[in-house]
Structure 1
Amino acid sequence: MSVHKEIKKKVTTLQLKKMKKSGEKISALTAYDFTMAKIIDEAGIDMIIVGDSASNTMIGNQTTLSISLQQMMNFARAVVNGVKRALVVADMPFGTVSGNPFNSLDAAIVMMRETGVDAIKIEGGAEIVDDVKKIIDAGIPVMVHLGLMPQSINKYGSYGVRGKEEEEANKLILDCKLMEKIGAFALVLEKIPSELTAKISKEVSIPIIGIGAGVEADGQVLVIQDAMGMNKDFSPKFLRRYADLYAIMTNATKNYINDVKLLKFPNESESY
């Protein structure tokens, strides 16, 4: 039985905060193109994140570090064109928010103005607090990504769970509280222990969107290619596949090839 509430009006950052307060979980997926965004928006998703995971899923890069601001804007614009209801959040790619608040603000303004997204997402904690504050003070809604931060993969050296050690967990808690204090509207917490997520969720009033962070988060996000089973080579513990589009599309392509080779397509009714 579906518990999805059909809400026609546009989702806003304020609505997400109200959802946390009322206990209603927030559903989020990534998307990078018009068609996919339109499908999941019409299905009722609350939030669409145009993630820099596009670097991996759409371009084929090994990490998220290679994608440019212009490439991210192209994906974001396509998603915005397909969405009527969901809140659309675009990632600021590696290097665009990195310690120079005025340069960071310029990049954020370009992203908002050129794409029409509703908000941006930034990876980082206290180290970039001045950048985030400058952007928020300019009227741009910011979601902050903490825990495992893929843009810092070369520093970590692995995609392992973060916040298992007390020192790192305490810093994460402080970073979350700091970002709430300066005005972030939400947090994404990636690959941290569920107990730590529960603790943070109780200590901050803004929504927490988890990915590999347990059920205590205020909402969940998955990369759409992973959730829909398009990527068969990626199987982290936190991933649940809701379809097997890899098999469906592979079989459909084989059927199409066969029909073309055997002159079964197009048939008479499909010809002019």
Structure 2
Amino acid sequence: MKTILDFSRARREDRPIVMVTAYDALMARIVAVSEADAILVGDSVAMVMHGFSSTVEATLPMMELHTASVRRGAPDTLIVADMPFGTFRQGKHVATEAASRLMQAGANAIKLEGVSGHEDVITHLVEGGIPVMGHLGLTPQSVHQLGGYRVQGRSEEAADKIQTDAHRLESLGAFATVLECVPADVASSITTRLTIPTIGIGAGSGTSGQILVLTDLLGLDDRFLPKFARRYLDGHGDILAALNRYAEDVRTPRFPTDAEVLA
């Protein structure tokens, strides 16, 4: 993918969209030469890279820093950056300033959570030339209001609200929306009724595409094991084993050898 128009093209062609969340130049460089379509610089960076307990701790300078880093690692890849907590709830002018800074840092589009209460912001951003991706279902920035990280849309009323919000996002000009941690049948129903693509995470296979955090799919964190995040590598185990082999080689000593000594 090169532009956001490729999202709608993939939707029309019924071609699944593959997104990966990454936060730095090194990992972005690897994603850029993979078969993935696009990178999300998620506000989950606050938890994954900075050790905070929630995405609420992500700040605009933090998101700018990581967006710029990912852009340097993946200069030709489509990049979406998360709008951090509060930046789109202070009115359209504050939101435009924040979104503009993320775009100037290297994003092709921004993502924001929910829709109620900031419809005017979404319209204003889209009309100002800033592509907007939505995010419905489990919205981590509202984790305190939601009572924790739990599946959303289980009741008929809750499912109807997500469906309604998805249509509102589409009508306001969003080019796609993430559906996080909602029942598979709800996500599939929403996807069928929208013309814009849906990107699922913990929402079953009936969405227009999927997104996983790179560190999750590489298995780098042995303490975070969400059911929806399939591990394609035992990164934690492999890295730990490599570090222990290095320590053993230094103490033996088998490292460095004469061939590894600079002349």
Specify the alignment match of 1:178 in structure 2.
168
Shift of 1:99: 4.2
Specify the alignment match of 1:265 in structure 2.
255
Specify the alignment match of 1:199 in structure 2.
189
Gaps of 5+ in 1: 1-9
**Aligned residues of 1:112 and 1:118 also touching (Cα < 8 A):** yes
Specify the alignment match of 2:199 in structure 1.
209
Q: Does 1:73 align with 2:61?
A: no
Aligned residues: 262
Q: Which amino acid aligns with 1:102?
A: H
Structure 2 distance, partners of 1:173, 1:125, is: 12
Q: Once the two structures are superposed, what CA deviation does each residue of 1:126-173 show, in whole Å capped at 9, x if it has no partner?
A: 221111111111100110111000000010111111011122211111
Aligned equivalent of 2:17, options 13, 21, 26: 26
Aligned with 1:161: secondary structure?
coil
Specify the alignment match of 2:142 in structure 1.
152
Gaps of 5+ in 2: none
Aligned equivalent of 2:5, options 14, 18, 32: 14
Q: Which amino acid aligns with 1:74?
A: L
Q: Does 1:161 align with 2:151?
A: yes
Q: Does 1:96 align with 2:60?
A: no
Runs of 4+ in 1 over 3 A off after TM superposition: none
Structure 1 distance, partners of 2:244, 2:213, is: 26
Structure 2 distance, partners of 1:13, 1:94, is: 24
Q: Does 1:127 align with 2:146?
A: no
Q: Which moved more, 1:103-112 or 1:260-269?
A: 260-269
Specify the alignment match of 2:99 in structure 1.
108
Q: Does 1:220 align with 2:220?
A: no
Q: Which moved more, 1:252-261 or 1:24-33?
A: 252-261
Structure 2 distance, partners of 1:239, 1:111, is: 27
Aligned residues: CA RMSD: 1.1
Specify the alignment match of 1:190 in structure 2.
180
Q: Does 1:117 align with 2:107?
A: yes
Identity %: 39
Structure 2 distance, partners of 1:98, 1:40, is: 32
Q: Which amino acid aligns with 2:221?
A: N
Instruction: Give the TM-score taking structure 1 as reference length.
Output: 0.94
Specify the alignment match of 1:255 in structure 2.
245
**Aligned residues of 1:44 and 1:86 also touching (Cα < 8 A):** no
Q: Which amino acid aligns with 1:189?
A: L
**Aligned residues of 1:99 and 1:131 also touching (Cα < 8 A):** no
Aligned with 2:118: secondary structure?
helix
Structure 2 distance, partners of 1:234, 1:262, is: 34
